[in-house]
Structure 1
Amino acid sequence: MSYIEASHYAQHYKDALLHDVVPFWEQHSLDLEHGGYFTCLDRSGKVYDTDKFIWLQARQVWLFSMLYNEVEQKQQWLDMAGSGAAFLRQHGKDAHGNFYFSVTRSGAPLVQPYNIFSDCFAAMAFAQYAKASGNGTYRTMAKNTYANILKRKDRPKGHYEKSTGNRPLKNFALPMILSNLVLELEDVLEEADIKKTVDFSVREVMEVFLQKESGLIYENVLPNGDLHDSFEGRLINPGHGLEAMWFMMDIGVRSGDEALIAKATDTMLRILDYGWDQDHGGLFYFMDAQGHPPQQLEHDQKLWWVHLEALVALAKAYEHRPGEHIAQWYQKVHQYAWQHFPDPEHGEWYGYLNREGKPHLTLKGGKWKGCFHVPRAMYQCWKTFDRIAQKHKLTT
């Protein structure tokens, strides 16, 4: 990849972020009456449901705070972040400090805090907004929320757990998200606390859920790390694995661990090889490790976030370990994603394509898709390709 190519990609992602994706959410998502954000937006940005999903509220607070901190100190971005932060502070959690899954437009609780993913994104949001606003109250809230997450991590659903315990599988999502969350909270936590969680996350991701024989990451394993022959035990989620690998690369950069970066790169390539649809292109959503019919009816859909995580992982892998194979994979995923997901008429990206790559739903936001994966990936790819271009410039 030449200096010109890297510069082109950097400008491409910067333009998409600042002139397409961010303006879409600025224009359509802010709730001027009750605070926070509308996330259920149709293709054109019209609100079709006003319920508020706490993890999406928190993700958007994080996003606009991050833009303010890292891109430009625009008052509009700080105000956008502040609206969501205040809404979360007032309506997001129960009396025990656990964050709900969803609330009404005005903030009345709808769905109880049955897992801790809302809490994880709330902690990220508060930490980033505290940095942007200088408000120490939110810094304290970030620290307290993180402490509550650690307290619940061994039994994250608490009394909302539906499992009887006869098949005690543990899930990949929590160690994956903790590996990123703890780096997001670097300004809030002590170094010893960061190291403890980083070490736990790397061990779980790269030694427990990553299987040596297949080179794949399984979504669920038994407590001792063994596999289980069941729907849940055979489940592969390529997007989760790819996202986790760029988290591992970031940890490797922070700690100077070249071996971790190399292992994450190799795992990323294995997941791409395994998860790519050879007939229609794109990455599958869910797969069964033994080739059996997956339980999820949406298993063969092509989802926005899966391809975005692949693009971020590939860009970072090329930055640290440049090579033709990674470059070819990047161009392959880039071409598929940019040909199928963006909506040139109304902006932003479609979230859900059928297996053939046509929009299955034309919404831009809903219960699961909000202002997070698209702009985060645009920012990450922009900055990564900018660094790649600068390295080329210095060596030529």
Structure 2
Amino acid sequence: MKNLEKYSSQYKDELLKNIIPFWLNHSKDDEFGGYFTCLDREGKVFDTDKFIWLQGRGVWMFSMLYNHLEARQEWLEYAQHGADFLQKYARAADKTWYFSLTREGKPLIQPYNIFSDCFATQAFGQLYKATNKAEYAEIARTTFYSILERRNNPKRKWSKAVDNTRPLKNFALPMILCNLSLEIEHLLEPSMVEKLINECVHEVMEVFYDKNSGLILENVLLDGQFSDSFEGRLLNPGHAIEAMWFVMDLGERLKDSALIEKAKEITLRTLEYAWDTEYGGIFYFMDIKNKPMQQLEWDQKLWWVHIETIIALLKGYLHTGDERCWEWFEKVHDWTWDHFPDPAFGEWYGYLNRSGEPLLTLKGGKWKGSYHIPRGLYQSWQTFEKLKVVQQIEVA
């Protein structure tokens, strides 16, 4: 019998006793608003710029915990603190969202990155659930509509690509829309949600899926065909696996066991392909033809890739009972917990070299904030609790 209680307690305690207190204690900027995310190993601020991805993610994370775990006033106040800063400073004149700001809130980088808008949508959609403030619903809804309008040209005038020479579309946006459409469905017409779900599932599971290898490509030509180029050969195992647990959630909602089964199989196939058999851990980037890559950091081991994989494996096991999911979970769990947590100063390292040693000892920066790890711990903990119920039924 699997020791689900041990795992459940481990993930719960790590979330509530280590990760959440770290961000509450070190991230809040009481003078100018918003959050510091550039935190060194001990949690000290080493840069004060504010990145909209991470501001939005922080608002979402603490709003989600308030809504789904416990209505702690401290969590709501933290979320509200970030939202106030975003409302005041983070949008350009056309209501799209800048990429980064100074500490005081002055814009640094133009709103070229549509994922700033995605995480702002998540943030205000979740905060609306906590507060029932109509202004938050309006921000989330109008930003989401803007994202849909820009889907086919997400970078707009800031794109570096020359039109029509090698037009590509990227996996990241349809992937995140799988999750985002559920995140704010309480603010949308049901027919719109259903249409979006069908479109996103098709894109993720058909257009970007390479039938020959069983893997998900990061970029394809506009007609869905393979591009034999740096971008076209690129695999991002973490992206692919993260998307698969989004799809499993959609499959559960749709009562589509075949969709869940396919997502589970892609998860396992990706992991088999991307696991470093020499040092352990999951490669950051790969080339589907095993050719040299542009990404010099291809062999690094990153925090988000591993925690997202744990979520997908646990959901795969919950929904299908496939023992390969559990065997891989134990393998990925052991490697992750042996290498990423920092027992001396709290939180987790983000960037390890191939052999699993910290390349950077920071706990937060331009890309790493209070998102993947706490979300992953929460999702995993909740899945263990569901598995405990299943196990009890089987024993009875």
Q: Taking structure 2 as the reference length, what is the TM-score of the superposition?
A: 0.99
1:185 paired to 2:184: yes
Per-residue CA shift, 1:350-395, capped at 9, x if unaligned?
Answer: 0000001000100000001011000000000000010000121233
Per-residue CA shift, 1:26-48, capped at 9, x if unaligned?
Answer: 00000001111000000000000
AA aligned opposite 2:26: H
Matches of 2:144 and 2:185, distance apart in 1? 12
Q: Which residue of 1 aligns with 2:390?
A: 391
AA aligned opposite 1:33: E
1:93 paired to 2:91: yes
Q: Which residue of 1 aligns with 2:377?
A: 378
Once the two structures are superposed, the pairs formed by residues 111-190 of structure 1 within 5 Å of their partners are 111-165=109-163, 166-190=165-189
2:47 corresponds to which of 25, 49, 61 = 49
Matches of 1:18 and 1:186, distance apart in 2? 28
Matches of 2:200 and 2:119, distance apart in 1? 17
Q: Which residue of 2 aligns with 1:196?
A: 195
Q: Is the 8 A contact 2:316 2:322 kept in 1?
A: no
Q: Which residue of 2 aligns with 1:7?
A: 5
Matches of 1:55 and 1:225, distance apart in 2? 28
SS at match of 2:359: strand
Matches of 1:353 and 1:193, distance apart in 2? 41
AA aligned opposite 1:132: A
Q: Which residue of 1 aligns with 2:240?
A: 241
How many residues of Structure 1 are paired with residues of Structure 2 in the alignment? Answer: 394
Q: Which residue of 2 aligns with 1:318?
A: 317
How far is the alpha carbon of 1:60 from its aligned partner? Answer: 0.4
Per-residue CA shift, 1:116-167, capped at 9, x if unaligned?
Answer: 1000000000000011112111011111110111011111011111100211
Q: Which residue of 1 aligns with 2:301?
A: 302
SS at match of 2:108: strand
Matches of 1:213 and 1:301, distance apart in 2? 27
Q: Which residue of 1 aligns with 2:229?
A: 230
Q: Which residue of 2 aligns with 1:78?
A: 76
Matches of 2:152 and 2:227, distance apart in 1? 20
Per-residue CA shift, 1:30-83, capped at 9, x if unaligned?
Answer: 000111100000000000000000010000000000010011101000000000
Matches of 2:160 and 2:322, distance apart in 1? 46
Q: Is the 8 A contact 2:317 2:323 kept in 1?
A: no
Q: Which residue of 1 aligns with 2:282?
A: 283
Q: Which residue of 2 aligns with 1:341?
A: 340
Matches of 1:324 and 1:75, distance apart in 2? 41
Matches of 2:105 and 2:306, distance apart in 1? 33
Matches of 1:298 and 1:244, distance apart in 2? 22
Q: Taking structure 1 as the reference length, what is the TM-score of the superposition?
A: 0.99
Q: Which residue of 1 aligns with 2:65?
A: 67
* CA RMSD in angstroms, aligned pairs only: 0.7
SS at match of 1:170: strand
AA aligned opposite 1:99: W
Matches of 1:115 and 1:156, distance apart in 2? 7
Matches of 1:288 and 1:375, distance apart in 2? 30
Matches of 1:47 and 1:245, distance apart in 2? 35
1:19 paired to 2:17: yes
Matches of 1:355 and 1:273, distance apart in 2? 17
Matches of 1:187 and 1:17, distance apart in 2? 27
SS at match of 1:187: helix
How far is the alpha carbon of 1:322 from its aligned partner? Answer: 1.2
AA aligned opposite 2:127: Y
Matches of 1:35 and 1:115, distance apart in 2? 22
How far is the alpha carbon of 1:115 from its aligned partner? Answer: 2.0
How far is the alpha carbon of 1:8 from its aligned partner? Answer: 1.6
SS at match of 2:157: helix
Matches of 1:285 and 1:96, distance apart in 2? 35
AA aligned opposite 2:272: D
AA aligned opposite 2:314: A
SS at match of 2:225: coil
How far is the alpha carbon of 1:323 from its aligned partner? Answer: 2.6
Per-residue CA shift, 1:86-137, capped at 9, x if unaligned?
Answer: 1111111101010000001111000001121000000000000011112111
SS at match of 1:363: coil
Unaligned ranges ≥5, structure 1? none
AA aligned opposite 1:308: I
Matches of 2:48 and 2:75, distance apart in 1? 22
AA aligned opposite 2:115: F
AA aligned opposite 1:108: K
Q: Is the 8 A contact 2:170 2:220 kept in 1?
A: yes
Matches of 1:35 and 1:136, distance apart in 2? 22
How far is the alpha carbon of 1:325 from its aligned partner? Answer: 1.3
Q: Which residue of 2 aligns with 1:29?
A: 27
SS at match of 2:387: helix
Unaligned ranges ≥5, structure 2? none
Matches of 1:103 and 1:193, distance apart in 2? 33
SS at match of 1:318: helix
Per-residue CA shift, 1:212-270, capped at 9, x if unaligned?
Answer: 11000010000111111111010000000000000000000011010000000000000
Moved more, 216-225 or 5-14: 5-14
AA aligned opposite 1:384: T
Per-residue CA shift, 1:249-306, capped at 9, x if unaligned?
Answer: 0000011010000000000000000000011000000001111111101000000000
Matches of 1:349 and 1:157, distance apart in 2? 32
Matches of 1:392 and 1:228, distance apart in 2? 46
How far is the alpha carbon of 1:17 from its aligned partner? Answer: 0.3
